[in-house]
């Protein structure tokens, strides 16, 4: 394979891991050799390379864990040095240290380790968000993982469940990582289709991700677990599809679902330093760290919802095509149709009166037009308890409105700046983002606020079960990856409308790993049920009551289980100087 000028060749390897550490080490070394044969300068290996992540008890986990300087790690270090390449390995690692509620004087962590081309350990990142039974026998990280400056670029490491939530990858990217290295141990198809590529796109970084194939459960338990869950044994195999992803979310190399493989691609790490969107907005400079305090704070219950959330509610997405007064007449007619069809929440594209979503300089006086629009939309809802979400210019601010038959019930300004709406955003204080209806708690997301995962996390922390999003995406990932991911990682329904875009992302009942399922296992764990907008009016059901179910696995809550103690980079005024220091390199 010819090398692309000015690039770095990287590899992602997938293989099966069992309970025989000798066989597992042989698979690791085989993958390193194959990557080296393709002239890769870096290879990423799957999660838990030393042993299946299934242990009988903590003593078993401790026996099987690697030790600093032990033979397993020494062999990998030697292979890295022999091929003069970087190797990202993931193992269970035992080190001395006191842990609360543990009495053995040891820490057992799920550890990402980066070996350099001289075989020296350059950095270690312990897993911050443990999944399910990992919590029984392993210990979570007590420091954030490092960003490691290498000859290849600035590298950050994470693993599996840390990529199902946004905070870990966000923190690494804010601290300067150009390439994120992800090791997985997952049978979920959502990983390859959603969680892996969205972390690249939302942070504008490269991602190199390696998953497993083969059984993830010991042979003597596989049949029992399969029968208990009502799924075929092969559904409990690693989902493969290891991949290398560009900063725009495009997958440039992907391994097959079920076969051992090493995939390679040439990447340009420096491309991740460009955080500009098509309109010139710097994605990271537009963030509002002072708004994100709740994300880095100890979880606490939101205000209680005063009623019982509905099991199912009809919602609507509108796509109008007119301009100014013509667009208003069209929107009012569609809103009336949607309400008559039983829609309780109706979402219009942002700045729906203007087809490109930007108010032209010669537009009618926004204040008078806005007042007329609000009155007309409210009138279209008469005799119903439906609400319509839209955005309009109000007093020089791009403002989202949730309107009922009696007028606006919620106003939310755009909180994040953007070049296309220059000067239209407010910075602080943050207004209430939610409104309680008879069927659920609705949050409103305005324009380019939809680009930032922190916005939706704040809505989830406020107890929202449904989010109305008025936003027209400028890059494909924003609607194809971004909004489905916000639904998946927060357990919220998302109803999104944009000019020529839109979809309804409803929470599924078949959510989480360890549960019995009716109708068979699809391989998806948290991906929403998506209804793309088609034509001027699209109706579908969302499920507000499902938002209460946030346990993706036992003891792993998608929202309250976020690594809030180590999320200092998200709220630091200067992302280059995070409030919580990273762990720095560690030696074995």
| Helix %, strand %, coil % of the chain (to 5) | 30, 25, 45
For 14, 148, 150, 200, 579, the CA distances from 175, given in Å and listed in that order, are: 28, 10, 15, 15, 11
pTM of the complete model beyond 0.85: yes
Tell me how crowded residue 352 is: count the other CB atoms within 10 A of its CB: 27
- Whole-number Å distance between alpha carbons of 434 and 439: 13
- Answer whether 546's CB lies under 8 Å from 507's CB: yes
Token code pair at residue 450: 């939809």
Query: For 468-505, what is the HEC assignment?
Result: EEECCCCCCHHHHHHHHHHHHHHCCEEEEEECCEEEEE
Of 353, 348, 355, 383, nearest to 368 by C-alpha is 353
Q: Which residues contact 222 (CB under 8 A, 6 or more apart)?
A: 215, 233, 236
Instruction: Spell out the per-residue pLDDT of the chain, length 588, in tens.
Output: 555 557 999 999 999 999 999 999 999 999 999 999 999 999 999 999 999 999 999 999 999 999 999 999 999 999 999 999 999 999 999 999 988 888 889 999 999 999 999 999 999 999 999 999 999 999 999 999 999 999 999 999 999 999 999 999 999 999 999 999 999 999 999 999 999 999 999 999 999 999 999 999 999 999 998 887 778 899 899 999 999 999 999 999 999 999 999 999 999 999 999 999 999 999 999 999 999 999 999 999 999 999 999 999 999 999 876 666 688 999 999 999 999 999 999 999 999 998 888 887 777 677 778 899 999 999 999 999 999 999 999 888 999 999 999 999 999 999 999 998 888 888 777 788 999 999 999 999 999 999 999 999 999 999 999 999 999 999 999 999 999 999 999 999 999 999 999 999 999 988 876 665 565 667 888 899 999 999 999 999 999 999 999 999 889 999 999 999 999 999 998 766 544 433 333 333
**Phi and psi (nearest 5°) for 278?**
-55, -30
- Answer whether 93's CB lies under 8 Å from 65's CB: yes
What does the DSSP 8-state code read for residue 145? P
- Whole-number Å distance between alpha carbons of 586 and 583: 8
Q: Which residues contact 542 (CB under 8 A, 6 or more apart)?
A: 312, 313, 315, 345, 466, 493, 495, 504, 506, 507
Let me know if 149 is exposed, middle or buried by CB neighbors in 10 A (0-12, 13-18, 19+): middle
Of 386, 17, 433, nearest to 186 by C-alpha is 17
Of 364, 413, 360, nearest to 391 by C-alpha is 413
The strand order across the sheet containing 387-394 reads 407-413, 397-404, 387-394, 345-347, 313-318, 537-542
Domains identified in the chain and CATH numbers: 8-274 (3.60.110.10), 313-549 (3.60.110.10)
Tell me how crowded residue 576 is: count the other CB atoms within 10 A of its CB: 10
């Amino acid at each position: 394979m010819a090398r692309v000028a000015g690039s770095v060749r990287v590899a992602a390897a997938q293989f099966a891991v069992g309970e025989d550490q000798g066989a597992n080490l042989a698979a690791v070394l085989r993958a390193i050799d194959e990557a080296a044969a393709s002239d890769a300068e870096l290879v990423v290996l799957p999660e838990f390379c030393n042993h299946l992540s299934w242990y009988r008890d903590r003593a078993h986990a401790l026996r099987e864990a690697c030790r600093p300087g032990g033979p397993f790690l020494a062999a990998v270090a030697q292979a890295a040095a022999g091929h003069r390449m970087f190797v990202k390995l993931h193992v269970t690692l035992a080190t001395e240290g006191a842990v609360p509620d543990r009495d053995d004087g040891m820490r057992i962590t799920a550890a990402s380790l980066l070996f350099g081309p001289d075989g020296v350990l350059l950095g270690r990142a312990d897993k911050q968000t443990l999944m399910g039974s990992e919590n029984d026998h392993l210990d979570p990280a007590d420091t954030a993982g490092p960003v490691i400056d290498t000859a290849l670029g600035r590298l950050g490491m994470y693993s599996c469940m840390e990529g199902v939530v946004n905070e870990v990858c966000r923190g690494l990217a804010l601290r300067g990582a150009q390439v994120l290295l992800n090791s997985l141990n997952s049978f979920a198809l959502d990983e390859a289709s959603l969680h892996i590529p969205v972390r690249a796109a939302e942070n504008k970084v490269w991602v190199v991700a390696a998953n497993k194939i083969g059984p993830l459960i010991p042979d003597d338990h596989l049949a029992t677990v399969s029968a208990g869950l009502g799924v075929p044994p092969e559904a409990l195999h690693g989902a493969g599809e290891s991949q290398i992803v560009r900063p725009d979310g495009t997958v440039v190399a992907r391994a097959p679902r079920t076969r051992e493989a090493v995939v390679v691609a040439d990447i340009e790490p420096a491309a991740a330093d460009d955080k500009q969107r098509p309109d010139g907005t710097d994605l990271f400079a537009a963030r509002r760290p002072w708004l994100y305090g709740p994300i880095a704070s100890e979880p606490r219950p939101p205000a209680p919802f005063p009623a019982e959330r509905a099991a199912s509610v009809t919602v609507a997405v509108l796509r109008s095509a007119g301009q100014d007064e013509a667009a208003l007449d069209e929107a009012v007619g569609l809103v009336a149709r949607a309400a008559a069809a039983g829609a309780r929440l109706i979402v219009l594209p942002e700045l729906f009166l203007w087809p490109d979503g930007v108010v032209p300089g010669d537009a009618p006086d926004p204040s008078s037009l806005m007042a007329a629009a609000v009155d007309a939309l409210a009138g279209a809802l008469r005799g119903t308890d439906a609400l319509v979400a839209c955005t309009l210019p109000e007093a020089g601010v791009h403002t989202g409105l949730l309107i009922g038959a009696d007028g606006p019930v919620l106003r939310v300004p755009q909180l994040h700046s953007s070049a296309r709406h220059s000067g239209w955003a407010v910075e602080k204080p943050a207004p209430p983002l939610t409104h309680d209806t008879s069927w659920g708690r609705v949050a409103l997301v305005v324009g380019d606020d939809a680009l930032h995962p922190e916005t939706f996390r704040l809505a989830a922390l406020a107890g929202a079960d449904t989010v109305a999003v008025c936003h027209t995406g400028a890059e494909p990932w924003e609607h194809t990856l971004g909004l489905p991911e916000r639904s998946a990682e927060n357990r919220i329904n998302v109803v999104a409308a944009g000019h020529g875009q839109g979809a309804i992302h409803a929470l599924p009942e078949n959510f989480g790993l360890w549960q019995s399922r009716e109708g068979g296992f699809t391989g998806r764990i948290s991906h929403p049920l998506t209804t793309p907008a088609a034509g001027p009016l699209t109706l579908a059901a969302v499920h507000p009551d499902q938002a209460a179910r946030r346990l993706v696995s036992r003891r792993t809550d998608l929202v309250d289980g976020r690594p809030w103690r180590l999320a200092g980079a998200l709220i630091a005024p200067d992302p280059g100087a995070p409030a919580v220091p990273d762990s720095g390199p560690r030696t074995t």
